[in-house]
Structure 1
Amino acid sequence: MLEKEVIDFEKSIIVGIITQNQSEDKLNEYLDELEFLTFTAGGTVVKRFSQKMDKPNPKTFVGTGKLEEIKYFIKDNDIKTVIFDDELTPSQSKNITKELDCKVLDRTNLILDIFAQRAETSYARTQVELAQCQYLLPRLTGMWTHLERQKGGIGMRGPGETEIETDRRIVRDRISLLKDKIKVIDKQMATQRSNRGAMVRVALVGYTNVGKSTLMNAVGKSDVFVENKLFATLDTTVRKTVIKNLPFLLSDTVGFIRKLPTQLVESFKSTLDEV
């Protein structure tokens, strides 16, 4: 059974860099986390690649020699996905994908994918979709590279650009709509919070997968979903709990993680409001 699970997992490699601001020990810590994120998303990490650099290469994130090494490893080991520990710029993502000819993700992309898998309620799905749209908007141009390969540069300047602009407008409109939807739900949640009155409130706050939901189930006799994966809980759960005749409200919150995508910080403000 276990063997079948491993076979079904997407073969991946992860890539990070050692800089003046990020020591080798710190990078290994981040890569451990990235490996767990990959497992949570449905992948298995076959190998880690790292390189010592003053700063990321503006074109390919890592150096050309390291990229070549990664390229050969992908071909020899049938790797499906390459995941970078830092957020890639749209041009870096485009250049790396062109060079490696396989699926290229960064940490932000991976976390957004996990959040999309985990979002159960309408509110969580709205927040995740907003974050995905904000991440996608500056990267739309890179998604037309498949047309460039087919047709080259001639004839692409007019219609191609029009298509991209149309897509941008659709995504911008969607972002605006989602923001309005979140504002309405935020007001409803603020009203709910004010209706709870002066009861003592306890919030379980901590790193993702540290055991907040397990603790809540034990203390509050709740049935909050628990799993040994990152971000098992996305929606804040509030339960009325009584210990030794003292009633209080116990809330389980979304877990913290290092290098959290800025899009999610923005769209999860109301979740943090519970704290």
Structure 2
Amino acid sequence: MIILLRNIIFISVLIFSGSLLFAQKLATPLEPQAPPKQTEVGIVFGLGNNFQSGIYQPECETCKFDDAQGLGITVGAIYIKDFVPEFQWGSLLTFSTLNSETSYQKTELNKIRTNPPFSYEERPVPYRNKAEFKISEISLNPFLQWQPLDFMFFRLGIGTTIISQNNFIQTKELLKFRDTLSTGEIVDLKFDSTHTKMITLEDNNIKGTNIIQFSLEPMLGFNFEISNQIYFLPYFSYSIPLTSFSSEQTNLNFSKWRIMLELRLALQLRNIKIN
């Protein structure tokens, strides 16, 4: 996957470099030189929430998990260029984590083994079933940007994503550590197989994961000019899945929103100021 990321970055650099080389036409008597089109590159960083939609059915047939949530990060690079001063096109290359977790409690009737001489008694025992989704992705997001005012912009992009990690972990934890039997005997509660308070029921890849995903990426933000060629842009980004995350799970998807911070350097400036 590291090799794949290097290839994506290398190809993106070639595309961006080529567009810079051929962006300007030479002026001729019949065709005056076109006004310069602002061209910028930069880095992005974001924090926000990941959340699950749909239901995940693990190997445990009586277990179902939904509404998983978690904190996620996004880091990457951006290239953007004018069509005209108010409209731009560009692309984001990002790495994001979509980690999330959820849990529920359930009381089960279990046979509790007494101290010697051994016998068994059925007792209600509370458990917590917990699911952790460990997901990371690499995304290429070409977009169009409208900048109606000098300090505000709207973007709409289509994200093409490769899932680089898709791990699912399910654990079962005792919520009661001692119990009093009908005989008055007090016993310690633990799992027979491990003699611990918690066991791992599953640690596998998410079943049926579609490695390539597509999403709609609307963004709204503000543009602050730090200097003549350096810009700082905070903005809100939301990812809407267009494909199902898994071919084996009912309507399973993972969405995200981010508060993004973007720092850009202008390689070439336009000579027309946006209102």
TM range (shorter): under 0.3
Q: Compute the TM-score of the two structures, normalised by the length of structure 1.
A: 0.19
Q: Please tell me whether Structure 1 or Structure 2 has the larger radius of gyration of its CA atoms.
A: 2
Higher helix share: 1
Higher strand share: 2
Q: Compute the TM-score of the two structures, normalised by the length of structure 2.
A: 0.19
